[in-house]
Amino acid sequence: MIRRPLRTFTVLIGVAATVTAFAAPVSAAPVLTEAAGPATLAAAQQKLGTSLGAAFAGSWLDTTGRLVVGTTDASHSARIRAAGAVPKVLRHSTAELRRIQSTLDNRTAGLPGSVAGWYIDVVANDVVVSVVGGDATGRAWAASAGVPVRVEQVKSAPRPLWDVVGGQGLYFSGGACSVGFNAYDDDDRYVITAGHCTELGGTVHGVDGTIGKVAKSSFPGNDYGTVRVTHSDVDTPPRVDRYEDGSDVRIEGADVVGVGGRICRSGITTHWQCGRVEALDQTVNYGNGNVVRGLTQTDACAEPGDSGGSFVSRPSSGSGTKRVQAQGMTSGGSGDCRSGGTTFFQPVKEVLNRYDLTLEKD
C-alpha cells in the first residue's frame, strides 16, 4: 500500500516535469519584412520607438528585408521580438546620435567646400561626415567638432538639380529655341526640339546651365532633332511650362488631336498660346529649298524663339494637376501674336519612332 502512492506520485512528478520542460515564454510575433508594406512597418517602428524610450537606437530593413530595431538595453530584446522585429543591441541611442548631428549643424560658419554633408548611419550606429576626395581641410573640420564622427570619402560634392521643362529656353551657340519634350532610350536621356534648331549643333544650354550636345538632327524634309543629356544635375520631368497662365501641365501620353481639336503651345517668346488644329500632314515651303513634310497646321500664334517648343492637347479647366497629350514641336509659321497667325508643328510621334525613344510621362 505504501509503494502504490509513491508510484503514482512519481508519475505525477514526471508529468509535471514534462510540462515544465516544454513551457516557453510568450511567443514572438512573426518577423515583419518589407512585404508587410510601408504603413505596417511605419506603425511598428513608431510603436517600438515610443515604448523603448531613451534606449531606442533606430530601425531599418536588413539585406533580407527583415525589420531590425536597435536598442542600447539588451533587456528590451524580448519586447522587440514580440513586436515582430529583430533586436540588435547598439552603443548609441538615436537621441545621442541626433545630438552629435546637431553639433555639426551648428558649425556651418566657415564650413569647407570639401565637406559634402553629414548624416546618421543608423545601421553602423554612428554619425558620418562626407568629405570630397578625403580633403585634409574637410577632415580637420570633422575632427575639430569635438564629437565622435566617422569620415567617409566621396567622389564629388552634391549640387542642386534643375529641370528642363517643355517651352523653356534652349540655347545654341548660334541662337535660341525652346524645349519640346523630354524622352529616353535604354541608355540615355534626350531633349527633343526642332531640327532647324539642332542643325546649329554643338553644346546646348538650358535656363540653369549646360544640358549636353546635339545628338541627331533632321532638317529639311523633317523638322526634329535631339540633345543628349550629359550633365548629372539635369532633371527631365514630363512637364510643360504654362508661364503666367498657371502651373505646369504634365505629359501622360501622345494621343493625336484631330482637325478642329483644341491645342496649346509653349515657348520662350510668346509663352502659352492656344488654338485649334486646322490641317494634318501638311507640306510647308520655308524657302531656300527648305521644304518640310508631315506638319500639322494650327491657328495658335508663335514668334521667333518659340521654335521647338511644346504643342500639347488643351488641358481641362477643372482643378487639380493638368495632364495633357504631347502633340509636337513648333516648326514655323506666319503672322505673330499681336495680329494673329498660322503656326505649324512637327508631330512628336515621328521622332519617337525614328530614334526609338520613349517620352517621359506621368
Q: In what order do the strands lie in the sheet with 169-172?
A: 175-178, 169-172, 203-206, 209-218, 224-229, 189-193, 181-184, 358-359
Catalytic residue among 59, 218, 307, 310: 307
Contact 282, 297 (CB under 8 A): yes
Answer yes or no: are the C-beta atoms of 60 and 34 closer than 8 Å: no
User: Which of 217, 223, 306, 313 is an active site residue?
Assistant: 223
Cβ atoms of 263 and 249 within 8 Å: the answer is no
Active site residue 307: yes
Q: How far apart are CA 86 and CA 71, in angstroms?
A: 11
Would residue 223 show up in a list of annotated catalytic residues for this protein? yes
**Can you tell me the distance from the alpha carbon of 100 to that of 92, in angstroms, rounded to the nearest whole number?**
11
* C-alpha cell belonging to residue 291: 521644304
Phi, psi of 338 (to 5 degrees): -95, -45
Between the CA of residue 267 and those of 192, 320, 356, what are the distances in Å? 13, 23, 25
Active-site choice (76, 130, 196, 241): 196
Closest listed residue to residue 229, CA positions, set 214, 218, 248, 244: 214
Q: Does 299 participate in catalysis according to the annotation?
A: no
User: In 195-208, which positions are buried (b, 16+ CB within 10 angstroms) versus exposed (e)?
Assistant: bbbbbbeeebbbbe
Report residue 298: phi and psi, to 5°. -140, 165
- Positions annotated as catalytic residues are 196, 223, 307
